[in-house]
């Protein structure tokens, strides 16, 4: 009984972690292609690259945990 309780939260953590990785990578790509129509190119490229790098870092941490 106790093992079943531990599996469900772990599965939800994996799903949430993967979802957040996709969110960060998607936001980074959307920033780079100027989806939000920002006027300042330096901020757009900076944030886009930051989101993508953090998305990969978060994905790496999720992979190493499992």
The more confidently predicted of residues 21 and 1 is 21
Which residues have CB under 8 Å from 24's CB, separation 6+?
Answer: 51, 52, 54, 55, 58
Our CA dihedral for 15, 18, 19, 20, rounded to 10 degrees, sits at 120
In a domain, 2, yes or no: no
27-63 pLDDT, tens digit each: 999 999 999 998 999 999 999 999 999 999 999 999 9
Spatial separation of the C-alpha atoms in residues 35 and 11, rounded to whole Å: 33
Token pair for residue 22? 């996709």
The total domain count for the chain is 1
In a domain, 22, yes or no: yes
In a domain, 8, yes or no: no
- Which pLDDT score, from 0 to 100, does residue 65 have? 85
Q: For residue 35, give its domain range.
A: 17-65
Spatial separation of the C-alpha atoms in residues 44 and 33, rounded to whole Å: 9
Spatial separation of the C-alpha atoms in residues 50 and 8, rounded to whole Å: 32
């Amino acid at each position: 009984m106790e093992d079943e309780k531990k599996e469900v939260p772990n599965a939800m953590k994996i799903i949430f972690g993967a979802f957040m990785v996709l969110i960060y990578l998607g936001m980074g790509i959307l920033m780079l292609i100027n989806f939000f129509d920002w006027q300042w190119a330096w901020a757009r490229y900076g944030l886009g690259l930051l989101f993508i790098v953090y998305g990969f870092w978060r994905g790496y941490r999720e992979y190493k945990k499992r």
